[in-house]
Amino acid sequence: MDFPVTPSNASDSNDNSNTTPQFETAQDAIKRRSSSRSIKRRRFDDELVEYSLGLPGASLGKGEKRIRTQSYTSQLPEFPINIPTASISSVPERRKPLNKVAGAGHRSRRKGQLSQLSTKDLGRWKPTDDLALIIGVQQTNDLRMVHRGVKFSCRFTVAELQSRWYALLYNAEISRVAVAAMRNLHPDLVATIQQQALYSTAEEELLGTITSNSHPILEKFQELLEQNPHVFYPTRTAKSIMEHWQLLKQYHLLPDQSVQPLPKNPDDPIMTFSDAEDTMNDADLPDYKEDGMDVEMQLADRIEKKDIRLLENAFSRWQVLVQSVAGGNIELDKNTLAVLRGRLVRYLMRSREIAVGRSTRDHTIDVDLSLEGPAAKVSRKQATIRLRNSGEFFMSSEGKRPIFVDGRPVLQGNKVKLNHNSVIEIAGLRFVFFINLDLISAIRQEAVKVNIPV
């Protein structure tokens, strides 16, 4: 049965036709924002949907704990949802903290500008320089004296010191930054700078009351420091003012060390240093002895005597004495049996048997050939020279390389007789063998007297 279409029905149909596309559009929009993938981490679009829909877990109260929430977009119902106007009106309310962020950014820019300004104001001047400048000016009231006496981190000129001092006095911004930087200094660093403060004129006048010909002790300066605490700088100690007084005395800056005036008459002689020294009497000078000086002198004397005794005992055990070659003449004493003379050194043989070779850290030898020249090819024990009772010298070869005596090779295990002026060559090093004929003849005569078999 056909019903007539009334205007109300037509309007209803039009309403239905109009609402259906709206529902589909909203649903399509929701589906586009949702994600079908199984992702545990929330995405940015999911958080927007949750916030706009007002789902549970999307926003937290003040007393609620923040927990990990999952996305609810995949569980939306299949019917249209009317978004409340409260959620839309809440968006402008969230813009209010943005103004605070903007203000914070403005403050951060302002802090950055202030930090740049402070760095620009400091420049080459460090907080230690400012503190040393202030203390120096307060002590001396003279920028030129501060320039000569204070050691800054850089080499400032007098004009730079003057401009900096005026800036600290009259520029409020630079003064504020400098004071803040000086307050951040470590106390030990501040104490070090204060200990190096220049001496004022009043302090040096008090130190000048102690005459230069006196010999004050530390207690005298401590007493002077305690009697005048308002004059001396607070960091002064008795030892520091004593050292400054000694410097004044050394450079003749004490009041009683005034320079001798020139004579008015040019004919009058000027007193020289020798004349002034003659006027001094050494007997009048006091003899000051330190407490530990006598003990140290006794200990040093005992050590020297011990070294001398050790050298005397070792002298008898020396078999070879090494001397540098100076001239062509050879003077042999009564203790030298023979001499092995090279180009640079000569070895004095003072025992009946000596070993020739190369000394190392773990092996010592009587005749060290490395003193003559390069001895890398020489064995540690290359040969042995012996004196027989008959007064004859024999050399036995014990190294791997042969020894040449007067041009004839001597292999390992062989012996050869050494004569006076024999030439010995060992690994490229040449020596001349000289015999003390007078001493050898005396040894032979002794051997004949006691009937020692030859």
pLDDT band at 95 (very low <50, low <70, confident <90, very high): very low
80 shares its domain with 185: no
User: What is the pLDDT at residue 268?
Assistant: 65
**Which bin fits 352, alpha (ψ -120 to 50), beta or left (φ > 0)?**
alpha
For the chain, the domain total comes to 4
Residue 154 covered by a domain: yes
Q: Do 345 and 412 have their domain in common?
A: yes
- Does residue 106 lie within any of the structural domains? no
Phi and psi for 323 in degrees, rounded to 5?
-130, 150
> Are 181 and 212 in a shared domain?
no
Residue 426, pLDDT above cutoff 80:
yes
Do 155 and 253 fall within a single domain? no
Separation CA 135–CA 147 (nearest Å): 12
83 is a domain residue? yes
Same domain, 34 and 53: yes
User: Can you spell out the DSSP letters for 210-240?
Assistant: S-TTS---HHHHHHHHHH-TTTS-TT--HHH
* Whether residues 330 and 395 fall in one domain: yes
Same domain, 26 and 139: no
Residues 168 and 240 in one domain: no
Q: Are residues 148 and 78 in the same domain?
A: no
User: 186-227: per-residue pLDDT in tens?
Assistant: 999 999 999 999 999 999 999 999 988 888 899 999 999 999
Domain edge (last residue) among 212, 227, 257: 257
pLDDT band at 313 (very low <50, low <70, confident <90, very high): confident
Are 205 and 190 contained in the same domain?
Answer: no
pLDDT in tens, 344-366: 888 888 888 888 998 888 888 88
pLDDT higher than 70, residue 433:
yes
Q: Is residue 15 in some structural domain?
A: yes
Q: Are 209 and 168 in the same domain? A: no
Picking from 428, 406, 402, the residue whose alpha carbon sits closest to that of residue 414 is: 402
Among residues 353, 339, 347, the alpha carbon closest in space to that of 370 is found at: 347
CATH of the domain at 387: 2.60.200.20
Could you report the per-residue pLDDT of 8-35, keeping only the tens digit for each? 444 444 444 444 444 444 455 455 555 5
Q: In this structure, are residues 425 and 404 in contact, taking their beta carbons and an 8 Å threshold?
A: yes
Residue 315 lies in a domain: no
pLDDT given for residue 194 in this prediction:
93
Range of the domain at 227: 201-257
Is 424 among the domain residues?
A: yes
pLDDT category of residue 332 using cuts at 50, 70 and 90: confident
Two tokens at 106?
Answer: 């403005």
- Is 347 within a domain? yes
pLDDT score recorded for residue 31? 52
Q: Is a pLDDT exceeding 50 seen at residue 430?
A: yes
Residue 102 lies in a domain: no
Length of the chain: 454
